[in-house]
Amino acid sequence: MAVAQQIPASFESAHVLVVGDVMLDRYWFGEVNRISPEAPVPVVRIEKREERLGGAANVARNIATLGGGAGLLGVVGDDEAGDVVDSLLTELGIDSFLTRDPAISTIIKLRVIGRQQQLLRIDFEEPPTDTVLRDKLTRYNTLLPQYNVIVLSDYAKGSLVNVTDMIAAGKSAGKCILVDPKGDDFSRYAGATILTPNKSELMRIVGSWKNEDELTTKAQNLRESLALEALLVTRSEEGMTLYTAQQVVHFPTMAREVFDVSGAGDTVIATMAVMLGAGFPIAEAVALANRAGGIVVGKLGTATVTHEELFA
């Protein structure tokens, strides 16, 4: 890849603050040899358990793995799962700015894996309390000067109810603001630098399209109406398309084998954040993010891409 020769040995100049819904991903791996006599479901005999950072924490994990400086601002419960999240952040050298909310439990996604396939996912989640969210916004404003890129990772779990204020503060401070959006109303993300919806998320906002020209028109209209510098639409097997005022660039998918798409969007936005934080143009950042996404879908569960894999 042409840009690889221009990439520095590390991304240490990228300092990225990730804000959003912090989760703990738990994986239970086991053997499936029979069907339950109680109901027509497989019986999984658990042999191994793994815990990984999820949601916004997975974005921070990807940034740290690539060699960027990462900080994570979010809310977890005052519980065992929150302790695990804190410990995993420490192991990766991620600056933790987590608030413990005793009124809630840490968001957990428990996946049961049998024969290398996901059989079941169980979610445990509660929205943070208003008091904690107000404190989080205050802390965000104090942290802004320490970072050159902000990633707002919205999983619609309640941690980003103040996203409009966060974007306004970041924009006033001259920060590059990347948003992974959710929901039916993107107006609250107005003023961000880059928005990264996937195809289905975009379709919920602008409606369906019949061809590339119609998609381009709808995407550019959305970008202009939200005052974005760029709109990056991730399109699964179709790759991804970048829309700016100056150009429309399509990046075909680079996935050799799709094994698991869990967390692929986290890897894409994390790679872009690190590249932009290191001073690279947006088109080059997206090209590398596309490559990273193609690598990570070949791995099981919420995974990361290393600097070495990205530039191999």
Residue 124 has pLDDT above 60, yes or no: yes
> Residue 76: is its pLDDT beyond 90?
yes
Q: Name the 3-class secondary structure at 56.
A: helix
Tokens coding 151: 């990633």
Q: Where are the beta strands (DSSP E) in 154-215?
A: 176-180, 194-195
CA distance 63 to 14: 9
DSSP three-state, residue 145: helix
pTM for this model (two decimals)? 0.89
Instruction: Check residue 2 and give its pLDDT.
Output: 36
pLDDT value of residue 5? 40
Which of 4-18, 27-41, 131-145, 262-276 shows the lowest mean pLDDT across its residues?
Answer: 4-18
- Residue 203, pLDDT above cutoff 90: yes
- Residue, of 160 and 309, whose pLDDT is higher: 160
For the cut 80, the answer to whether the pLDDT of residue 307 exceeds it is no
Bridge partners, 242 (sequence order): 232, 249
More confident residue, 168 or 12: 168
Q: What pLDDT does 126 receive?
A: 87
Annotated catalytic, 266? yes
Q: DSSP class of residue 303?
A: -
Share of the chain above pLDDT 90, in %: 72
pLDDT for 130 equals 87
Domains of the chain, start order: 13-23+54-105+127-310 (3.40.1190.20)
Paired tokens of 243: 């829309």
Instruction: Please indicate whether residue 152 or residue 6 has the higher confidence score (pLDDT).
Output: 152
Q: Tokens for 189?
A: 């993300």
Which residue's entry shows tokens 């086991």?
Answer: 30
Whether 67 and 305 have beta carbons less than 8 Å apart is answered as no
Q: How far apart are CA 21 and CA 106, in angstroms?
A: 10
One of 95, 101, 154, 266 is an active-site residue; which one?
A: 266
Pairing of strands 230-234, 240-244: antiparallel
Residue 17 pLDDT exceeds 50 = yes
pLDDT value at residue 3: 42
The fraction of the chain above a pLDDT of 70, given in percent, is 92
Give the strand pairing for 117-124 and 107-114. Answer: antiparallel
- Res. 253 pLDDT band, cuts 50 70 90: confident
What is the DSSP annotation of 236-278?
GGG-EEEEESS-EEEE----S--S--TTHHHHHHHHHHHHHHT
**CA-CA-CA-CA torsion sign (7, 8, 9, 10):** negative
Give Cα separations from 143 to 16, 53, 56, 90, 173 (angstroms). Answer: 11, 22, 17, 18, 11
| Band of residue 1 on the pLDDT scale cut at 50, 70, 90 | very low
**pLDDT at residue 255, as a whole number:** 56
* pLDDT greater at residue 263 or residue 95: 95
DSSP code of residue 187: G
Q: What is the pLDDT of residue 309?
A: 79
Specify the pLDDT at position 9: 55
Beta bridge partners of residue 72, listed in sequence order: 18, 96
Q: What is the mean pLDDT of residues 240-246?
A: 95
Looking at the predicted structure, is the pLDDT value of residue 8 above 60?
Answer: no
- For residue 236, what pLDDT is reported? 80
Return the structure tokens found at 298.
Answer: 């070949």
pLDDT at residue 300 above 70?
no
